[in-house]
Amino acid sequence: MAKLFFYYSTMNAGKSTNLLQASYNYKERGFNTILFNFHGDNRDAQGNLTSTELYVTSRLGIKEKAYPFDKNTDMREAFKRICQQDLPLKDSEDKNLPIGAVLIDEAQFLTAQQVKQLSDIVDYDNIPVLCYGIRTDFLGEPFEGSTWLLSWADEIVELKTICSTGKKATFVLRLDEKGMPQTSGAKVQIGGNNVYVAVSRKLHKQALKSGELENAAYREVKSE
């Protein structure tokens, strides 16, 4: 039976790698996959802006083309349209393969309605949907898509990583051009390791309070 999955973590926990591995596994077993990514994410694996073509890209250097979504995309209608168009992003020899799964990167940017639309793909089209995203923004505030996925997903899986203190990283900090934690700004800002860093909850609180990252990390290590 098809399910709606939510794989969540902070930055640099291998979400995109996990997604691309899942896509590969489906193809290896004779299925096609449909990948979606947030329309504003045209970075390469190092976080640098690339062309307007959209990919899901891993830090390991692998990537796969993806269809864009934004807040106005009807996810189920987009899924149906892609199927009717014989998957134009795929190689010609792959077009007639059955759809094995829909995979969504940057799923935190989904709206509540889009999460429900994805659940319709699972419930009525009987296609698994695998969503990958982070729970909170750089200030520790929840994203709409992640909140609804945590509520509606059939299965929820945490992908773990650690911060510089060795503790489990559950939050992200956004850094300015000087490497200092930002305490205000737009909720959505696409970036990689040059913009975001994964940290523990304690370090996140200390860094936002002090406005520094290195000293906050030092204080946390000393307090252990």
Residue 105 labeled ligand binder: yes
d(CA 25, CA 6): 18
Residue 94 labeled ligand binder: no
Residue 199 labeled ligand binder: no
* DSSP bridge partners of 103: 35, 130
Residue 10 labeled ligand binder: yes
Which helix (H) or strand (E) element contains residue 202?
Answer: helix 201-210
In whole angstroms, how far apart are CA 88 and each of 40, 62, 206? 21, 20, 48
224 catalytic? Reply is no
Residue 180 labeled ligand binder: no
DSSP string, 78-144: HHHHHHHTT-TTS-GGGTTSPEEEEEESSGGG--HHHHHHHHHHHHHH---EEEEE-SB-TTSPBPH
Residue 15 labeled ligand binder: yes
Residue 188 labeled ligand binder: yes
Residue 133 labeled ligand binder: no
Residue 8 labeled ligand binder: no
| 171: DSSP letter | E
d(CA 66, CA 104): 9
Residue 13 labeled ligand binder: yes
- Out of 28, 53, 106, 144, the active site residue is 106
Q: How far apart are the first and last CA of the chain?
A: 46
Residue 108 labeled ligand binder: yes
8 A C-beta contact, residue 198 and residue 164: no
Residue 56 labeled ligand binder: no
Binding-site residue numbers for substrate are 188-191, 196
Binding-site residue numbers are 9-16, 105-108, 188-191, 196
Binding-site residue numbers for ATP are 9-16, 105-108
Catalytically active residues are 106
